[in-house]
């Protein structure tokens, strides 16, 4: 049985689908604070399988211990956590308490119950600003750009120390910019309130839910002046977790692995692709730069391919088509 924390969320639900399709038994642990119970129905519709569900507060050590006593867990994929960069700057304690406590509770229960395989949802944000555009895993941690980013780095450090003192085998998956949705249009990124990330801003500006998109700066030293990121289809990202789980099963120790495509796409290029693929106009204006944004970065995806045989397969056009298909079905 694979314990998938945060499995009702945007990325977690896509991982649940890939795990179930690959024949794994899955239990989703989620407190549903930022996810809807309908997502579970959608996972069932897509896969024809019903995952086990545990509604739980993972920061509560005794609840986590009870879950491990009741269910025989073989491996853990840990995504549950707060993830809004801006909010983490305003409410740092909320982020440190939640993101660290949940990871500690899980590691303690895993140690007690002899569970030795751990896939951790990390982020390219741990690189900080290394002064180059292609990020390889051999780069050191950079100065954290937000409390959210600090929690990712701290959890990687905690897991590394635990692994050094035990039989734990762990993979840190450092995500670049996941976008898109399952091709069924049944699951996708549907944030409450004002979105935090670019693609939901694009879809909501296009449906009219938001008046328009603001492009944060067109005076960067890039090919068209807008920022460049490594966008990755969420289904490719989800498949990367299945590969990481298999890798953990056969290897000891810890590895940090980038999940990105290795390609950079600018904000204006993404908007152009979205308009072309979907035959729509994205209402947008150019605004000032957003504090803290780097001009350009993308993943070196070589290690993921070498160690896990994983590489991103889906294109920017596919990401735009699937994101819009989901937005049209959801609203």
Binding site for ligand WQD (CB under 6 A): 83, 85, 123, 125, 177, 197-198, 201, 213-216, 227, 229, 267, 290, 293
Beta-carbon neighbour count of residue 217 at 10 Å? 18
Q: How far is the CB of 25 from ligand WQD (least distance, A)?
A: 28
Residues in the chain, overall count: 331
Backbone angles phi, psi at 73, to 5 degrees: -100, 135
The tokens for 108 are: 């303690």
Closest to ligand WQD by CB, 116 vs 203, is: 203
Closest to ligand WQD by CB, 162 vs 199, is: 199
Strands 26-30 and 75-78: unpaired
Q: How far is the CB of 219 from ligand WQD (least distance, A)?
A: 12
Which stretches does DSSP call E strand in the chain? 2-5, 26-30, 52-55, 75-78, 117-123, 134-135, 169-175, 177-179, 213-216, 228-229, 231-233, 253-259, 265-266, 284-287, 298-299
Q: How far apart are CA 80 and CA 7, in angstroms?
A: 8
Q: Which one is catalytic: 10, 24, 95, 148?
A: 148
CA-to-CA separations, 295 to 2, 17, 262, in angstroms, rounded: 38, 34, 16
Q: Is 130 exposed, middle or buried (0-12, 13-18, 19+ CB in 10 A)?
A: middle
Closest to ligand WQD by CB, 289 vs 329, is: 289
> Has 247 been annotated as catalytic?
no
Closest to ligand WQD by CB, 141 vs 216, is: 216
Q: How far is the CB of 169 from ligand WQD (least distance, A)?
A: 25
The tokens for 61 are: 């050590």
Closest to ligand WQD by CB, 266 vs 325, is: 266
Rg of the chain on CA atoms, in Å? 19
Closest to ligand WQD by CB, 118 vs 298, is: 298
Q: How far apart are CA 298 and CA 263, in angstroms?
A: 6
Strands 265-266 and 228-229: antiparallel
Closest to ligand WQD by CB, 127 vs 310, is: 127
Q: How far is the CB of 62 from ligand WQD (least distance, A)?
A: 29
* Residues 200 and 191: beta-carbon distance below 8 Å: yes
Shortest Cβ contact with ligand WQD: which residue?
Answer: 227
Q: How far is the CB of 266 from ligand WQD (least distance, A)?
A: 8
* Residues 312 and 260: beta-carbon distance below 8 Å: yes
Bin 279: left if φ > 0, else alpha if -120 < ψ < 50, else beta: left
Q: Which residue has the tokens 């990202």?
A: 237
Q: How far apart are CA 217 and CA 226, in angstroms?
A: 6
Residues annotated as part of the active site: 148
């Amino acid at each position: 049985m694979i314990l998938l924390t945060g499995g009702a969320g945007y990325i977690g639900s896509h991982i649940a689908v890939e795990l179930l399709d690959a024949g794994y038994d899955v239990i989703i642990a989620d407190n549903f604070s930022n996810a809807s119970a309908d997502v579970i129905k959608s996972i069932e519709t897509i896969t024809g399988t019903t995952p086990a569900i545990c509604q739980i507060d993972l920061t509560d050590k005794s609840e986590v211990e009870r879950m491990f006593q009741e269910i025989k867990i073989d491996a853990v994929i840990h995504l549950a956590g707060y993830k809004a960069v801006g909010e983490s700057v305003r409410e740092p304690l909320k982020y440190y308490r939640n993101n660290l406590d949940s990871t500690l509770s899980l590691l303690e229960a895993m140690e007690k119950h002899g569970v030795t395989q751990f896939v951790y949802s990390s982020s390219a944000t741990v690189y900080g600003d290394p002064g180059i555009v292609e990020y390889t895993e051999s780069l050191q941690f950079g100065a954290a750009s937000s409390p959210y980013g600090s929690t990712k780095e701290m959890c990687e450090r905690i897991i590394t120390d635990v692994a050094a003192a035990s039989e734990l085998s762990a993979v840190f998956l450092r995500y670049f910019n996941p976008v898109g949705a399952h091709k069924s249009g049944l699951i996708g990124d549907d944030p409450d309130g004002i979105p935090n990330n670019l693609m939901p801003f694009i879809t909501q500006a296009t449906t009219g839910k938001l008046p328009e998109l603001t492009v944060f700066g067109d005076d960067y030293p890039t090919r068209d002046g807008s920022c460049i990121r490594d966008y990755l289809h969420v289904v490719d990202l989800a498949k990367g977790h299945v590969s990481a789980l298999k890798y953990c099963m056969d290897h000891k120790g810890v590895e940090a692995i980038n999940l990105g495509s290795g390609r950079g796409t600018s904000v204006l290029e993404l908007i152009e692709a979205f308009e072309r693929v979907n035959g729509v106009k994205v209402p947008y204006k150019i605004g000032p730069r957003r504090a803290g944004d780097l001009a350009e970065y993308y993943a070196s995806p070589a290690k993921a391919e070498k160690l896990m045989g994983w590489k991103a397969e889906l294109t920017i056009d596919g990401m735009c088509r699937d994101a819009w298909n989901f937005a049209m079905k959801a609203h």
